[in-house]
Structure 1
Amino acid sequence: MPPHPETWLKVLPEGLFCEPGGFFIDPPGPVPRAIITHAHADHARPGHGAVLASPETMALMDVRMGEGRSGAQRQVLPYGEPITLDGVRVWLQPAGHVLGSAQVAMEWQGSRAVVSGDYKRVADPTCMGFEPIACDVFVTEATFGLPVFRHPPALGEAARLLDSVRLFPERTHVIGCYALGKCQRLIALLRQAGWDGPIHLHGALIPLCQAYERMGIPLGELRPATVAAKAELAGAIVLAPPSAIADRWARRLADPVVCLASGWMRVRQRAKAKGIELPLVISDHADWDELCATLTEVDAPEIWVTHGREEALIHAAEQQGRRGRALRLVGYGDEDDAGVEAVPGETALGGKVVA
């Protein structure tokens, strides 16, 4: 009988560890060997001895951290190409979260475990879509693991934004959005919704947009917002880190309509407390229905939840006849518009904004 994954995939103080393969997955601090699911700061830290990731994630880590700082030894692994690490067969499959995001699939002595990383299930023109993998244990996030979280179609949210731009042509619409993934997806959604004019960017967002375009994701005309005159920004769309939209930086804008793109904007009290005039419910995480559907599709008899709303998703798994377990891994941030990851030129308030 194949060994149960709990005998070889273990939670250690340093993070989730594949014991026979000798590697950690998204460890919260430097380790000798790490596999990284995606380039957000709570999953990708610098200073590993050896690091493996998708080519896009490796490139984005270079932009965020500085070239080569992710690990002393670096290996890129394209989607679907298996390798063997000390007897463990490992491959990456798209997770649909941001460009380069990957699930980590592992097989050892006939048993298979899949670590999802962060993921979403809706189409996104800026990254490859999630591909379910049948497995014995599925290790999943649960950021929006409550039935109240059901995300509306993202293209409809972009259309709402453009309706507001038409309604208030003399005002600047400034949208708080996370620098990696959300910013580029929002630009692509606005293009799909019919906005073909320039989109202005806070300086913190420019390097990652340039990286996306180098990797073949077209974003259209982008302009730096910092050097634009206030008159030029009347009627314009400006994207900025969430920390900047309530900062003195935003005073350069023409009577701004303050917006925030986040799955948490489903919670009206949160939007009101943060002074958000136009909340946009756009998330890069699976909502409740998508999480539950994924459990059915991967058909794993056992579900492990890394972080988020563990209890509700574990209950849903058990209702499907599956065993659930909360790993409660430390170091992962829920989507939270109270702060942002530090990237060049951006003010960090502590915490993370992803969506």
Structure 2
Amino acid sequence: MLVGHRTWVFENRPIISGAAAVVGPEEGNGPLANDYDIIHEDMMLGQKSWEKAEHMLLEEAVKLACEHAKITKEQLQFYIGGDLLNQITSSSFTARTLGVPYIGIFGACSTSMESLALAAYIVNSGGAKYIMSATSSHNSTAERQFRYPTEYGAQKPPTAQYTVTGAGAAVVASREARKGQGPAPAITSATLGRVVDMGIKDPFNMGAAMAPAAVDTIQAHLKDLNRAPADYDLIVTGDLAKVGYEIAQELFVKHGVPIEDTHYDDCGLMVYDLEKQPVQAGGSGCACSAVVTYGHLLKRMAKGELNRILIVATGALLSPMTALQGESIPCIAHAVCLENEEAGL
């Protein structure tokens, strides 16, 4: 059901039946290490290229999500996914392995919540019982495609971010399919973002470019549902990192949104220890919000520490070609609300 201008409310409350987060070595050295399913010590994962390694990360996450949902891949009706590689090849190759109907999407780093929102919409409408939602990124594949190959050792400005090496996957299921298997987080609403472009052209300053889109979507979500930030235990943006997070806070004040640090965080700040790890302003990439959500945040929900959260995945919709042509960076943010069933929200 559409509420307000941009928000879907899912009356049938589809659930996350199983999820998984798989990461690389730098993420495994971060503060959320205990919440990941697999930590790889080798960026190559024993493969012949970084791109093959990213594909393997995604396949591992998808396989584990099915196991955690206690289903086989043959029970999936659809797979919705995307990534940062040209023509979303990691997702397409994973779809080849799954062998189920595939919806490939591109939302840049907003893909985690874009895919989750679409999966929830289809399940809520009765269009499927089980849908896989997944995404991935790899530091070296992203650096080679969007900036400089890591072998160059190019110096980066402090506004630059470190692309997360990892993959996150979730099985979205109908309540009927999940019946009798115990409590699980419900997907209760989603607010789709619109493109916001503030004229920023620097691909090394993604946080500043994406912050206005994140604030725009959060404002729309709160207005559509007539809620305040305090109605959530946590609102978390995808990968604004240090620079974008500070800008977002300034914009909240400017627009009169009463959000506080206790209710607001950013996955790009959570995934790494900025004081001890060489990650410049913090994390980014499709896997940033995916591994934090499907690893850390879902575990906190399972413990009852969080009962209603809003994940707002942010994405910069540029390409290497548009950057070279001096185009500004259009950005977007998609928000999904998760609620604990046993909390009675």
For normalisation by structure 2, the TM-score amounts to: 0.30
More helix by share: 2
Larger radius of gyration: 1
Larger relative contact order (C-alpha < 8 A, sep ≥ 6)? 2
For normalisation by structure 1, the TM-score amounts to: 0.29
